[in-house]
Structures are given as C-alpha cells and as structure tokens.
Structure 1
Amino acid sequence: MFTSRSTLPFSPMTPASPLGALKLSSLAAAVALLSACASTTAPTGQAPATAPAAAPAASPAVAATAPAAAPGASATVPGAARPPTDPTAPKPFADIIKDAKVQGGLFPIWRKDEKVWLEVPKDKIGKPFLFTANVANAVGERGLYASQMGMDQMVEWRRIGNQIQLIALNTAFRGEGGGKAAVAQAFSPSLLAAGPVASAEHPERKSVLVDASMFLSDIPGLSTRLEAAYRLPFAADRANSYIEASRADATLSTLTARMHFATPRIPAPPLTPSPVPMPTPPQATPDARSMFVSFVYSFAALPEAPLRPRLSDPRLGHFMESFTDLGNDMKANARVHYIKRWRLEKQDPNAALSEPVKPIVYWMDKNIPAKYRPAVEAGIVEWNKAFEKIGFKNAVLAKQQPDDADWDNMDAGHASIRWFVGADVGFAIGPSHADPRSGEILDADIGMSDVFSRGSRRMIVEDVGFSALQAQQATQALGAHRHGAAEALCTYAHDAASEMNFALDVLEARGDVAPDSPEAEAFVAAVIKDTIMHEVGHTLGLKHNFKASTTISQKQLQDKAYTDANGISGSVMDYNAYNLALKGEAPTTFNNTTLGAYDYWAIEYAYKPISVENEAAELAKIASRSTEPALAYADDADAGGFGPYDGMDPLANRFDLGDDPLAYYKKRLKLSKELWTRVQDRKPEVGDDPLRQRRALMSGFNQLFRSAELVGKYVGGMHALRDLPGSTGRASFKAVEPAKQREALQFLASGLFSVDSFKFKPEFLSTLTIDYNEWERGGPLNVPASVARVQLVALDRLLSQNTALRLMDMPAYVPEAQRKGLISLNEVYGTLQGAIWSELKSGSEIDRLRRNLQREHLKRLQAILTKGGGASGQMADAYALARLQANNLAAELRAAVAKGGQTVETRAHLAESLDTLNSALKASMSRS
C-alpha cells in the first residue's frame, strides 16, 4: 500500500565549512507546520542503500510517465549514447542516468551515487500540480517544531531554453467570468526554484532530467522564521545540505531535503542591557550556530476534474479558498469564497446509506504512545455519526501505522495524526492543503504535541500560560501570513491541557482522583478524544465556533444523564471548559464526549450530496436554520483577542460554559478558592514533587486570569447575530442588558479586585519550595505579581478605548423609549474608581495588593489624561469624563492625606498617588 522511502545523501563535489559559504535566501515566508518524517537517513558522504525501496504496482498512469523500466521497480539503464556535437547542449538522457536506479511515478526519481534527478515529462510542462513543503525534523523550540505542515502552492514547470523553472501560479486573482488574459498581465506569479536542464530529451518519452539539488535552497523561507525567533541571520548552507530520502507513485513524487542552516557567529551580548528584551540564541541545539531542518517536498497531481465548488455561507463556519474574481464588474464585491471539503461520493448514489467511493483516512503516527491510541482513534471515528446523518457509512477511517513501518506519512498523499515533542511546545494543530481551483482538501496532517503527558503539567501550569510571543510564533509556524488567518491558529490542546490540570488539581485535592491512578488516566484519555475530535473537525473544513457552549443551559450541565448523551456543548469546535461541580454538588460529565448539534449541521452543509440544479436552494435551506438556538455560531474574530478585534459579544468566548457565562465565571472563582483552601490544608508528604503545591496555586490563578478577561466583555458589550439581510428581521447588533453589565462590573469590583479573594496562610507560602536541580529555578512565589496578572487584564479591558466608544455609542442602538437605565461611560469610570479606591471613604488601612491595584489604575488614568487622543474627536467625551473622575479622586486623596493616622506605607502611598495625579492634571496633553 505504501512504498518504502529510499535514502540518499547528497554530498557536493567541493566540501565547505558548515559555517561558511552562507547565502541569505531571497524568499521570506513563514513555515513550520504539521507532519513528521520517519524516513531513514544516511549521513553526508555515505553511499545510499544499494537496493531501492519497494514501489506501488504498475498502473496506466505510471506507465505513461515512467521510464521503460517497470514503474516503481529499480532499473539500470545500460549503455550511453555518443556525446552531442554541441559542447554546450545537455548530454543525452541515457548518458546521465547510466547505472542509475529509478522510482517510477508522477515525476520519476533517478538516483546514482550522491546524485538525484527528477524526470519531467514534456506533457507535464505547463500543467499545474500541487507543490507542498512540510517540516519533518526541526529545532524543537520557539515554534520551530517537527511534524509541521508548511507551504502549499499550485505550481507548474516552465522551460526557458535550457533553463527549467518551478513557478508558483497566482491564484489570488482570477478572471472566472472572462478577462483571464488581463488578470494574468496584472498579477505576477512567483519563482520558487530554477536550474539548468540536466539532460537532452529522452528519445521516446520526450522527458528531461532536472537536478534535484535545485531544491537545496530555502524555498519555504525558513531563514526569515529563524531570524524572527532568534534575531540572528541564519541562512541555508547548500554545501552541507543533501537529499536524504525520496518516494514516488502514480500521483505523487516526494523529495526530503536535509537542510543545514547556519550563522557565522553569535554576537557578544551588549555591555549595557537593551531596554528591549532580546531573544537568546538557540538553546535546543549543541552548537547555537548550526542546525538541520528536513523539508519534505511533495509534487502531487491535481484531480483531472476539479470538485464542484460549494460557496460558503457566513451563518456557519468553514475554512475557505478565497480569491478575487475580476472577470465580472457587475458584482459589488469581487471576492469569492469556496468552502474547503474532501471529495466524498457514494458508491451507490441511490442508497439511503452507502459507503463512500473513497473514504477519508487518517493514519495514526507510530510515535503516538500506545496507551493513548484508543482515545485518538475514538476522536477520529466519532465524526462518522455526522456523516451517517447525510447518507455516508464509514466516511472517516482511522488506521494505525505499524511500529516497525519504514514508510512515512509526511508527504502530501496521506492524512495523519502526528505526535511530536519540543523543549517548549504545547499545542495541537489541524491544518490542511486544498486544491485552489475548488477548495477540495487533498491532504491534512494533525499535529499533537505531548501536552497530555504528565511531565507537561509543569510547563502549562507553572508558567503564565500561552504568551503573546508563543501565540505569535505559532501563528508564524502556521503560515497565517499567507492565509490571512488568525483563525488558523488553534491552541486548543495547550489550553485544554491547562483546563485538564485545573480539574485534576481540584479532584485530587478533594480526594476523588489520585495522581497517576486509572481514574486519572481515563480522565486524560477523555481529554485526548475531545481534542482529537476538535482537530479532526478542522481538517474536515470546520472553523471554531465560540458560541456553541452557550447553547447548553446551566441546569442541563448538572444533569449527568443529559451530558453523557449530548456532551457539555453544542460543538466540539468550541474551546470548551470543564464541567466541574461545586463542593457538595453531584458530579457530572467533565468534558465533551460526542459531537454537538452544530457539528452535524456544519457537516451537512459541506458534504450533503446535492444535485447541481438544486444546490443553491438546498444550501440556502440548510443555512437558514441558523436561527435555531442550538446552532448559534461565532468565529475567532467574534471572540476577539487579536488585531483590531477585542471581542464585543460576551457570549462568544474561549473556555466558558453554559448559557450564562457570567455565572460560570463566578463558579470558577469559587472553585479556585476551594482548591486553594484544600491545598493549604494538605500537609506535604515525603516523596512529593517539590513543585506540586506551587502548581496547584498557579492553576487557580490561571483560571481567574481567563475569567477576568472575559467578564470585562459584558461592560459595553454588544450581542452579534449572523443573519443575512432580509432573512429574519432580527437586529444584527443588540446592546448587552444593562443589568448584566452592572452585574459583571460589580463582580469584578467585589470579587477579583477584592483582597479577600487572594489571602493565603503564611505557613503555606513559606513551604512553597523550588526545584533546586534547575538552574533557572527562580525564587519564592510572587503572589502580588500573580494577583496583578488577574486584575490588570480586567482593568485594561474596562479602560480601553474600544469599551469607551461602545458605551458612548450604545444609546444609538437602543430605541429612545428604552434608553432609560442604560449604563453610561461615566458610571463605569465612577464605579471602577470607587471600588479600587474604597479605602479613601472608609479610612481603613490599604493592603499591599490593593496599593498595587491603585497604582495600576492611576497609571492608566494618567495615560488617558496625557496621551489619550486629545480633547477632540471620538474620544473627547471619554477624556472629559476621565478628567472629571480624576479631579474627584484628587479631592479624595487630599482629604485622606490630611487625615493621616495610617501606617507609614499607606501614608507614603497616598502622598505619592496625589502627587502623580496632580502632575497628570497639570500636564499638557500630547494631542494627536
């Protein structure tokens, strides 16, 4: 079924230092995506295996392109023809491949000693095919991981005299309705690789040879990615790079390039530390100046007949192949969006339930630990439930790669679930490659890091979470710069593992689950199934749905019979939190165990067999069900958190649960307090992990950080509905109920801003030891910094410009008769200030944590007064209200300073705060 990968080193004729002969690549793109290469490799300078790998059986397609030798079989071409009379002309085909061995396929691969050639048939020059570059081996840190899916382009070979070029075709601009020539003149293609033709045409097949060394360059643009990670000029070192493996069959030819990247030197650190933090040189390689990365280049045939495109509908979410169609100037918007989906056709079109002609097969990587394989398989085949609803039996299959397999599923021919590791890795990804002509998914490789192993708990819980830098690196790794998609970034595995650790910490503290017990392992297996369902959904074409969790009521979440049968959310494509019961409540289902109503609906829209004449009407009918409460949908932009999108709808969130997210956040605060109480009451035992107590404490803080961020969305929030014009008559935007906004504001003031929420016993804090075996062990836990992280994310949200603008604009969205009782910007500013500075009225001592919060509020108020955009324009009223509140606060501070009587720390804090505020009120504003 699979051919073995043959291995072949490529040693240049002239050796060079691994740190010399460096050349910066001119191609700058982001790479590193998803699929690992398990091919055998040979070190530079060693001879390849004498016998080629087994190849697929002969087929008409192979016979048409392969050399005279049987396709896939090794062949030795006997004698060579006489040299041509023109010394500059390419040598005869037979001369070049004398004594070479061949792998027959789409583009036959010839090998002799250290040389490798691709045979390019004449009838395939100028014919498009799919070219992909995946990363099999990598650095192991900072987003540079193995088993990652990379770039994909529709390309063609072009021959210019004796030069052969690999050209990436421009599919972003098209002339589907006419005018293709004008579009071609307006928008340039790109050159990916080029080199001289290595042979004259074959006398019978009219094909030519191309030297595979043309692919020993930085085609994916990794040098830019390395520079972004390390701020060092790494470049491809062609002299020490080689072709390490190859494979070919009727529809695919694959070359694996073992690329050496190097930089001449690591600069000495500056004598004076830079005010801007600089990344360290590589930490995961023996020598920071040198690293090897393996690119798996696949040359894949496109379907002769493209799949009939299916247009997207914004009322539900599918990944899209989008382009600008300039062939028709009658459309107001020239953008066209085809949904991405696999080609799925019934063997028996008339049967109500039929096997597909070609099922969607996921190969489970042999690196997946054996104990997790059943959970991975369960997550894959769960999707068959949705396909059975539309008439397909066994549409999705899971197959296990044998542990002793010598073939690799890294190429473009196989969908896979790949398990990878790294020094700082913690995510899963479900990308895919599709035919740009139609959106047909041709390959998908889910990458799952080992975040679910027990050792990962340290990284996820003890650290501050998935940082902005990590998110940026993961986005670059995904190549989101090419697809314009922050939506392509999926951190579900990392965040789900963090959720899992909090749940396990609570359950272990209660005594319900012992660490490393069968119950704990079953819990982890359920998490893996949940995560795999999510990532497989991505590779089936489904985007995130961050409103699905709100389609289940709080009462249903407490009903174990309901959650066992229906799960805890309306979709596995949401980032679903864990359904933990409060102390004294009956336990229920912890996480999602099956597909939700939305998942069935999205699969129906993408894959239901529909005749051409009925397609438009039937798809419109399916999409019109968007008004059903169980099918609520919102994507990444709705949830916010990147670019200009701050997430204005409090029902569109990552990691909430139930139809009342605010009630969920309050419950999370109670659970965190319970965890902290139980952990403080537990006495450390001999043999404990020294970081166990610290991890549990940070686990609670991580939960509150997420809750604080999302609670703030209620204030100035707007509910958004995805109705098409004229489809329902409902309002597209509706202000969040004033009572709900005030409830959220009060929860922040009395809960997360209160010092009572963060009190820990000194006897407990003094026992939080560190790991003395680790050099970068740090010191005692910084509780004030952890509290500040929780509080400041809410404070920044409430004082942001976007929140102010929405609060000021909100009356415009509400009929005049209903405006009474609306929450105002002045109320928000006043309530927030009163809660943060409540000690000024009570005259009580100001705790250190509260002093920290007050200073941070003062910093933000100072920024508004001095750099807040000027006293004109959209923010004029916000500035005026902030100044009003600042004057009120200054008066209260003067009165408090005059009273005296507090501790010296409080008196100093009040005096400093008053001086800072007076300076801000007197300062000249920087007007923009």
Structure 2
Amino acid sequence: MHTACFVRDWLLEMNNWIAKVVICGLLLWSCIFGTNSAFASQISSFEGQQFEVAIADSFASSENRIIERKEASRRYREITRDGRKLDGLFTLYQYKDTGEAYLEVKPEQLNKNYLATVTLESGIGESGIYSGLPLQDFLFYFQRVNNTLQFVVRNVKFRTEINAPEERSLKRSFTDSVLGAAEIAGSDPYTKSLLIDLGDLLMRDFPGLTGLLKSSLQADYHLEEHRSYFSDINSFPLNVEIDSVYGFSSKEGADLVTVPDSRALSLSVHYSFSQLPENNGYIPRLADDRVGYFITAFQDFSRNRGDDLFVRYINRWHLEASKPELPLSAPKKPIVFWIENAIPLEYRSAIKEGILMWNEAFKIAGFENAIEVKQMSDDADWQPADVRYNTVRWFNSLDAGFARGPTRVNPLTGEILDADIIVDASMVRSLENEYRALVKGSSTALVEKFDPTTKHSCLADNDVCYGAESSFQAKMGTLALSLLTDTIPDSEQMHKYVHEYLRYLIAHEVGHTLGLRHNFHGSTMLAPEELNNVEITHSLGLTGSVMDYLPVNIAPAGVEQGDYFPTRIGPYDKWAIVYGYKQVANDVEEITPLQEKAFLEQIAAASPEPELSYATDEDIWDVNPLANAWDMSGDVLQYSQSQLDNARIMWTRLDERYPLKGDSYSNLRVLFNRVFNYYGRNANLLVQYIAGQSFGRHHAGEKTQWAFIPMSKQKQQQALTNLQNYVFSENAFNFSPELLNQLAPSRWQHWGNAIPISRLDYPIHARIFNLQSNVLHSLLDGERLSRLLDIELKTVPENALTIPELFDTLQQGIWSEVLTGSKPQQISSIRRSLQREHLNILLHMVLRTVNVPEDASTIAWHQLNQLQAAINASLKHQNLNMYTLAHLEQTSARITQALNAQLQTR
C-alpha cells in the first residue's frame, strides 16, 4: 500500500480534533515549503466532518497527480527513446513506420514569439489551387493550459510600452487567437520539456484548406485523416520545416479537368516555424505616404497623441554596410535569391538579369552588390518553401497565368525575412506557342479570351500581381512583331522578345519582395515621341518605375521600334530604395526610428519631381487619367490614339496576310479578338479624361499646386472627339466580308479546350455593341457626372467641361443622322444599336431609375425633347428605309411615353 493511502486511512479514523491539528500542521507545511496551493486552500475551506472528506480527496488527487506524472514521464522516455530524433529550433521525434511525429517544447520556449509561414507546396493547377501559393504567415507562441499545449496567434495590432499601465487594459481589450491545441503526450520530469503529437495540431486542417477548396471549387470537400500524413520533417537551429500531405474527398466532386477523379484529391502544405531575429541591430523605419512601401501598422496606446495612434513601419530587408564609413560598401549579409531547379534553362539568364537590375538602386543607397543570385542545384536537399531561402519558383497550371512576389515579414518590426516569387509557366510558354502558330502555320488553336473592359487585374490583393492582362499585353507584342513590320520575326527575334518580357516581369516581382508597392504613375515619365528612342530609354529608363503595370511598348506607324519592355529600373525605383535602405550616419551605437525621421523627410521631400510621381492601387479609381494600369507616356491622349491606329493597321494586315497556308481559321479568330480587346482597352483610357483630375501625394509647403488639379477642358474635349472618331462614328469599325467570314472557332472539343457554347459564326454586332455600350455607360456614370459638377466649383468656369456640354457632344455625335440639320440619312445597324443604348440611358435618368445628380436628370429631359423634335422632323421625309423608319418611330414613341410617365409620377 502506498504511503499516501496509509496516511489517508489513518487520518479518517482519528477524532475530529486530531484531524484539525493535522490539518493545521499540513497548512503550516504548505506555507513554509510551498507545497500544492490547491491542496492547502481545499483543506482550509472545510470544518468538522468535511475535513475528513477534504483530506481524503486531497490525498486521492495527489495520488492521481503522481500517477499522471509517472505516466507522462514514462511516455516521454518511450517516445524519445524509440523515435528518430531531429535536433534544432524545436526537437522533433519521428516514427517512419507509423508516420507519427512529436514536437518537444522546452520551458523557456513557452509564451515566446515565433514566426509561422504556410505554403501550398502542391496544387491542382486550376481554379486558384496552385503550387507555391502562400497561405498564411503569422506570429505565434505555445501556451500551456492544464494538460494541453495551445498554439496561439499573437495579436500584434495593438501595443504599448512594456510594463506600462496601459498594458493591463490591452490584454483585457484585445484577444489573441487560439488556432489549435494538442494534449500533452509526455513530459520530462527533470527538464520539464513537453511533448505533443504533431498530428493532433497539424492534421486537423490547420491551414484552413477546407474553406479554400469550398470557395475556389464551389464544392464541399472533407479532410480524410487516414489519407493525410507527414511526408518530410526537418529541424534546423533557427527553423523547423514540415511537409504535410492532406487527403480530401467529396461525394460529388467538383468541375475539374486537371485531376483524374475530382471526388478525391491531395494537397501538400509546407510549414516553416522559425525563430524571430532578436537584438540583431535592425531598426524599424517609419513610412511616408509619398513613397510606396508595404507597411506594418499598429496602434500604440502609450503614445500621448490624439491625432493618430498608428505607427507605420515600412517592410524592408535588414541590410547593414560591412564598412559604414565608406560611401559604398558591400552588405554584411546580402539578399540572396535562388533560381529554382525546375525553371527551364533558356529562361534562367533573363530571370537573373531581372533580379540583379535592382543593384543599380542599391548602389545609390550605399550598397555594392546588395543582391546576389544563385542557382539551385538539381540534387539540392532543401525545398524552395524553406524559410531560409528566397526563391524564384516555376509552376504549371491550366488557367492561372500570373506571377506573384509575396514576402514574409516580422509583424513587430517590418523586417522582411523571406521571399518567394512564383511564376506560372504559361505566361512565357504561351508566347512560344504563339510564335509557332504565327510563323510555322501551326494548326493548334490559340486560347481565346476576351473582355474589352478589363483595365487591370487583381489590384485588390497586394500579393497577387501580374496576371492574364500581362500575358495579353505580351501576346500583343508578338502580334505586332508579325503585323507591323515587313518581315515575320525569326526565332532569334522572338527569343530576344521573350527574354526582354521575362526580365521585366521578374524585376517587377523582385521590387515587391524588396517592399515596394505598385506605382501606376510610373509610366508617364516620357513623352510619346521619346518612348522608342533607345538613347533615352537605355540611359534614363522606359518608365519612371518598373512597379507600374506596363503595356507592351508598340511603336506608332512609321516610327522605328525601340524597347518593348523596360531594360532598367526607373528614377522612382532608385529614389524609393534610397528611402528604404540608405543608412543614417550617426555617432551613437543605436538610433531610434524617430531619430531617423528628419533624415527620411529630406529624401521624401523630392516627391514633387515629375519622374518621382507615385500612385498606387487605391489611387486609380477612374479619377486620374495619368495614374492608370496599362497606359504609357505622359500624354495618354496621344498614346492611346497611336495604339488605336496600330490596331486598325493590324486588322488590315490580318485581312491581307492570314490565315497562313495550312493554318486553322480558328487562329485568325483568336488574333482578330486580341486586336479587338487591345482596341477596347485603349479606348477606355480616353474615358478617364472626362471629369479627370490629377492627384499627387504631396505635402503642404512643397513646390506643388494643390492635391487635385482638374484636367483642362481642352483635353477633355479632345478625349470626347477621339471617342467619337474611334468608338461611336459610322466608320469606326470597317471590316471586309472576307475577313468576317473567316473567323471560325476552334473545333477541338476535349478537357481544357471546350468549344464556346455561343454562336458558331462571329457575332460582330455584339462585339462592337459591347465596346460602345461599356464606353458610353462609363462616360455617363453617376459618379463621373457628380465629379463634373464638383469640378465646376474647383476651377474657373472656362476650364470646366459641364454636364450640358458632355450630353450635347454625345448626342450630336451619336444622333448625327437626324441632328445635322440637313436631309436625314439612313441609319446603319451598328448605329441603331448605339442610339438605342444612348436613349435607354437618358430615359433611365429622366425616370430616376439610376443614381445620377438631379442636374443630370433635368439635362437628360432637355436632350430628349430636342431629340424628339429632330426625329419628328426627319419622319416627314419619305425616303427612309424600313429599318430607319421603324427605329425613329419607336424612339419618338418611347420618349413620349417616358416624359408622360415622369409628369404622372410628379
């Protein structure tokens, strides 16, 4: 019999007063020697007969705890003895035969911050589930609660000084997030280390894949634990790397073509748990809204400022000069990018050049060879998702067509710790296929996609970058190589073109990994006539920043072609890197972020210089026509007109040269559509001049005008004239019957190449109408009309384009057949469709079924009355064909009906 049991039984047989004496003695023992406090409090809370029960329960509880500790110790010895031990940041024990894995947490590792990064290592190649996709990254700590170890995500959004009184209220006000918990499987009685089954933590859909699959695939998938396992586990001094394979099933599956059976699929996820850098000399750098960096922001409740509680640090790498006394020094630790061994050999040189392009900027910031490039060997024993390596990765998909440059950042300081650029192979492969189709007359049908209103892609997500629009622009360049020159490009020319495109694409993504955001003002640096002058573009740059979304630079007709894409970073890029990375000269060992502020202000004060103009994602919502995606030059009016002319030339050349002998007619349809899309994109650039305003992120007192400067009335009128000539006029679209009758669709019907269910023949009326309708609705959008009204108060009257002037210009152009004052003309089918849509917009304004300013509604009423009078006059003539006669009669009747309905409503 155990000693505890004997003492318990003996005490129960004693008289009550003896029990009291014993209990008092036990309490005294507990106070002096610090024994179990719960036991002490339990004893002191009972009297009389309750003491007997309390003593019995306490000794039973103590006995259970002793047994539990012995069992935990036994399990610890058993697990650590039989498992394969992996020493490192966290010690791991792995069982190859069962697939089990255990993680050991030492006492000093409890409640300590670590960084977790989660990457989708293998995907399915479609519908948003792609290899290399970053899933999560966050700060976490392990916390013991009873017999479990909780995995807790640290709340870093709210902070205060350590041990400040405000710290107590913050803990009560804002909670951390317990992302998972695992029962303690064993413990060391000497070191107090704890063991948990890693499967209890990570094999319960820790990364949230079930929700991702449901939102991306629109199907209910469930995690199958018996199909899930750890494929590889490694532990290093500063990080732990874990690969998990998750099996999912769905009774009905999803509409997928890349997997053999969509009812079951497997996804591999890579985890990196790493130690945060501590006391490494990194100084967080304060952000400035004039310089475009991703930021780490938090509210500091210890700051005694009422205007702004936020502290904002830029995200940047920790670069230190090895010889800070010199104006130019190599860094103590350079930024190293590894080119993944899965990247085709022929593309590696372009990728390397795109990465190293940024060393020019770092040299100005005081660093020699700040960035290095290394090649991942074919037999490398590490994975690209390993947090220790910054990589450029290559993945394949059916429908992705994008590149991304995400980073992993210390959420406490903004220090960038890891970066992995991913590029979909189809972005480059499609150009090679395009070349084969155009030059060799391949019968392989090109992929047909069209959306004439698309102006940019994925701007809302900072991690998602170049996508389908980038591939589209690159393909337009290959088409220009074939159609705007006198010779069909050879393989050497195409290789040079692809090299130039990929180099620029990588330079853009590397810019993101250095902390830089998009700059959609970067493309405005050069005048249109300078864009193809290589003496300028090779010395200054093609654009102010490679962080813009740049279209392919296609020279206007009669101009010798220059660079299709930038060959070097721009002035803004260099200036931004100086702001982020130039070190402050100081005589003290450690400088604070606030002490850097005056130094940084001197750099940021240069922002009014034209080549340093900056506008990012949230600045480009149809307000500033010079801050836009997929535009080029400081005069977008002239640029877009030249590209509209180029598109018309390409249509003519397609009519003359294609299809090539032996080629499929479906290729011609794809190329025709591509030019049409290009035409629509450039037409939409003109729309933004109407009610347009330039916007600068300048500060008061700088050598600038106001924050907003309205576009001149002259430029707005010129934009309207160009839209009338290239979009709305009778002669805007002239295609030969021969060309239209050759636009056949692809006849390949199989997975990944479905035949469109729309019309078999080419819907030319629908294509033209969609473009015209989109432009017209954008011009007469309620928000744009409201801005026109506002601008009348923001500028002198003679410089303001008014709503009546906009309405009259559009109506005079769209209804010219009945408003010219001369003999009425026959109205073509294309014009009739446009006129009906214009009529519909005005009717909705009058009937107030759309949200427009009241002034716009009254002007629409006036325009309808004028239009009806002109139509009624035209109807008196007898030489109108039936199409025109019926069209005008119905229009007049609809106006009458609408005006009567308005009067009745009032």
TM over 0.5: yes
Whether 1:462 aligns to 2:448 is yes
| Deviates further, 878-887 or 857-866 | 857-866
2:779 maps to which residue? 798
Hey, what's the Cα distance between the residues in 2 that align with 1:122 and 1:609? 39
Offset, 1:406: 4.2
Offset, 1:910: 2.9
Aligned counterpart for 1:834 among listed residues 812, 817, 825:
812
| 1:511 to 1:692, Cα distance in 2 relative to 1, 3 A | farther
Offset, 1:302: 0.5
2:133 match: secondary structure: coil
Whether 1:822 aligns to 2:772 is no
1:139 maps to which residue? 124
| Deviates further, 732-741 or 188-197 | 188-197
Aligned counterpart for 1:453 among listed residues 417, 421, 429:
429
In structure 2, give the amino acid aligned to 1:453: R
In structure 2, give the amino acid aligned to 1:625: A
1:322 match: secondary structure: strand
2:886 maps to which residue? 908
**Greater fraction helix:** 2
Is this contact kept in 2: 1:567–1:594, CA < 8 A?
yes
Hey, what's the Cα distance between the residues in 2 that align with 1:866 and 1:212? 64
| 1:617 to 1:456, Cα distance in 2 relative to 1, 3 A | farther
Q: Which has the higher contact order (CA 8 A, sep 6+)?
A: 1
2:48 maps to which residue? none
Q: Deviations over 1:852-905 (max 9, x none)?
A: 2223323333333334467xxx82222222222233333334444454533333
Q: Deviations over 1:572-594 (max 9, x none)?
A: 11112233222222222221000
Offset, 1:625: 0.4
Is this contact kept in 1: 2:290–2:607, CA < 8 A?
yes
Alignment gaps of 5+ in structure 1: 1-82, 267-279, 476-485, 641-646
Hey, what's the Cα distance between the residues in 1 that align with 2:404 and 2:523? 21
2:221 maps to which residue? 234
Is this contact kept in 2: 1:560–1:587, CA < 8 A?
no
| 1:924 to 1:460, Cα distance in 2 relative to 1, 3 A | farther
Offset, 1:284: 2.7
In structure 1, give the amino acid aligned to 2:766: A
2:839 maps to which residue? 858
Is this contact kept in 2: 1:262–1:290, CA < 8 A?
yes
Aligned counterpart for 2:641 among listed residues 666, 676, 684:
666
| 1:434 to 1:172, Cα distance in 2 relative to 1, 3 A | same
What TM-score results when the alignment is normalised by the length of structure 1? Answer: 0.83
1:399 match: secondary structure: strand
Q: Deviations over 1:730-763 (max 9, x none)?
A: 2111111110011001111122222423211111
RMSD: 2.6
Aligned counterpart for 2:68 among listed residues 81, 86, 95:
86
Q: Deviations over 1:532-577 (max 9, x none)?
A: 0000001100111111111112232242221233331111111122
Is this contact kept in 2: 1:580–1:587, CA < 8 A?
yes
Q: Deviations over 1:796-817 (max 9, x none)?
A: 2211111111100112212xxx
What are the residue-to-residue correspondences of 1:109-508 with 2, within 5 Å?
109-112=92-95, 113=97, 114-176=99-161, 178=164, 179-201=166-188, 203-204=190-191, 206-265=193-252, 281-305=255-279, 307-450=282-425, 451-454=427-430, 462-465=448-451, 486=460, 488=462, 490-508=464-482
Offset, 1:500: 1.9
Offset, 1:167: 0.5
Whether 1:625 aligns to 2:612 is no
Q: Deviations over 1:340-397 (max 9, x none)?
A: 0000011122122222111111111122111111000000011111111122111111
| Deviates further, 230-239 or 746-755 | 230-239
Q: Deviations over 1:754-804 (max 9, x none)?
A: 242321111122122332223532323322333234323322221111111
Hey, what's the Cα distance between the residues in 1 that align with 2:487 and 2:844? 49
| 1:558 to 1:683, Cα distance in 2 relative to 1, 3 A | closer
Is this contact kept in 2: 1:648–1:717, CA < 8 A?
yes
Hey, what's the Cα distance between the residues in 2 that align with 1:494 and 1:729? 37
In structure 2, give the amino acid aligned to 1:445: D
2:428 match: secondary structure: coil
What are the residue-to-residue correspondences of 1:739-818 with 2, within 5 Å?
739-775=714-750, 776-778=754-756, 779-814=760-795, 818=796
Whether 1:685 aligns to 2:660 is yes
| Deviates further, 517-526 or 328-337 | 328-337
Hey, what's the Cα distance between the residues in 2 that align with 1:916 and 1:602? 58
Offset, 1:445: 1.1
1:103 maps to which residue? 86
1:681 match: secondary structure: helix
1:650 match: secondary structure: coil
Whether 1:721 aligns to 2:706 is no
Offset, 1:166: 0.7
Offset, 1:412: 2.2
2:777 match: secondary structure: helix
2:46 maps to which residue? none
1:846 maps to which residue? 827
2:36 maps to which residue? none
Residues matched between the structures, number: 808
Hey, what's the Cα distance between the residues in 1 that align with 2:901 and 2:171? 57
Hey, what's the Cα distance between the residues in 2 that align with 1:312 and 1:513? 51
Hey, what's the Cα distance between the residues in 2 that align with 1:839 and 1:328? 68
Q: Deviations over 1:627-667 (max 9, x none)?
A: 11111111112222xxxxxx201110112111101100000
1:574 match: secondary structure: coil
Is this contact kept in 1: 2:243–2:271, CA < 8 A?
yes
Whether 1:561 aligns to 2:535 is yes
Offset, 1:469: 14
| 1:902 to 1:260, Cα distance in 2 relative to 1, 3 A | farther
| 1:637 to 1:897, Cα distance in 2 relative to 1, 3 A | farther
Is this contact kept in 1: 2:456–2:630, CA < 8 A?
no
Q: Deviations over 1:891-922 (max 9, x none)?
A: 33444445453333333333343444444434
Offset, 1:670: 0.6
1:677 match: secondary structure: helix
| Deviates further, 299-308 or 431-440 | 299-308
Hey, what's the Cα distance between the residues in 1 that align with 2:898 and 2:224? 56
| 1:322 to 1:557, Cα distance in 2 relative to 1, 3 A | same
Larger Rg: 1 or 2?
Answer: 2
| 1:259 to 1:674, Cα distance in 2 relative to 1, 3 A | same
Hey, what's the Cα distance between the residues in 2 that align with 1:590 and 1:799? 35
| 1:578 to 1:250, Cα distance in 2 relative to 1, 3 A | same
Hey, what's the Cα distance between the residues in 2 that align with 1:841 and 1:287? 63
Is this contact kept in 1: 2:106–2:191, CA < 8 A?
no
Hey, what's the Cα distance between the residues in 2 that align with 1:469 and 1:798? 15
| Deviates further, 741-750 or 302-311 | 302-311
Is this contact kept in 2: 1:461–1:698, CA < 8 A?
no
Hey, what's the Cα distance between the residues in 2 that align with 1:671 and 1:557? 15
Is this contact kept in 2: 1:576–1:592, CA < 8 A?
no
Hey, what's the Cα distance between the residues in 2 that align with 1:462 and 1:898? 47
In structure 2, give the amino acid aligned to 1:102: K
In structure 2, give the amino acid aligned to 1:502: M
Q: Deviations over 1:276-326 (max 9, x none)?
A: xxxx73333222332222221211110112731111111121111122223
| Deviates further, 591-600 or 857-866 | 857-866
| Deviates further, 371-380 or 726-735 | 726-735
In structure 2, give the amino acid aligned to 1:111: Q
1:588 maps to which residue? 562
Q: Deviations over 1:586-606 (max 9, x none)?
A: 222221000110010000000
What TM-score results when the alignment is normalised by the length of structure 2? Answer: 0.85
In structure 2, give the amino acid aligned to 1:98: R
